A = this chain, B = another copy of it.
Amino acid sequence: MIRVLIADDHNVFVEGIESLISGAPDIKVTERCYTVESVIERLNQTAIDVVLLDISFPQIEDGLNLCEHITRLYPKTKVVALTMHDDASLIKRVVKKGARGYLLKNTTKVELLQAIQTVHHEKQYFNDTITHILLNDGPKTRKSTAGAGIKPNLTPRESEVLTLIAQGLTTQQMANQLFVSAKAVEFHRSSLLMKFGVPNTALLIKTAMEMQYID
């Protein structure tokens, strides 16, 4: 059973979403929140699998902040952004804040249920419309946004840095060893995190070992 929290300050809309979901056997709306504060409070008290979050809640900035807050503090809880806006820059900002899905408010019942199930299974949900918007908007689209399971090709330097990180060296120590600046090392470390699609060195090491880059 997927536990869903609806965060929207429009009563009518909450009702609508809930009725759409009511048909699904494995999804249940367990919480309805009309303010940012109540969302934070609820998450602190109850385990929630998916949050359907109106990004204009009540203002766009509030929604983005709340989205960031949720994904930072409760990584198990997935956020699907709901909004009436369909511009690329907003979608990107939302994704950057950790949302796993993005739906326009004129979405269908099928799409809504599918999005909930998809994000709950650790995947991202973006329909064709959203994907199209993202793709047709310059080169800023992350190389490895999907990032799961694919083996990144490392540059020679990146491999070196990866090996040194796995030896427990700090950035400064690596810099001394490679005879480059700390900033250069930082750059390679950052590239590694991006290529492997991980948030920190701990998971980088684990992932790299599993993928046989180390050992």
* Contact yes or no, A165 B74, CB < 8 A: no
Chain B residues whose C-beta falls within 8 Å of the C-beta of A138 in the assembled complex = none
Chain B residues whose C-beta falls within 8 Å of the C-beta of A191 in the assembled complex = none
In the complex, per-residue mask of A44-86: 1 if CB is within 8 Å of any chain B CB, else 0: 1000000000000000000000000000111110000000000
Chain B residues whose C-beta falls within 8 Å of the C-beta of A204 in the assembled complex = 202
CB distance from A179 to the nearest CB of B (A): 9
Asked whether A139 is an interface residue with its Cβ less than 8 Å from the other chain, the reply is no
Chain A: interface secondary structure?
Answer: helix
> Which one, B176, B200, B210, contacts A170 given CB within 8 A?
B200
In residues 141-166 of chain A, which contact B (Cβ within 8 Å)? 165-166
Chain B residues whose C-beta falls within 8 Å of the C-beta of A16 in the assembled complex = none
**28 interchain pairs (CB within 8 A)?**
A44-B176, A72-B170, A72-B172, A73-B172, A73-B176, A74-B173, A74-B177, A75-B169, A75-B173, A165-B202, A166-B202, A166-B203, A168-B198, A168-B200, A168-B202, A168-B203, A170-B199, A170-B200, A201-B201, A201-B202, A202-B202, A202-B204, A203-B205, A205-B205, A205-B206, A205-B209, A206-B214, A209-B209
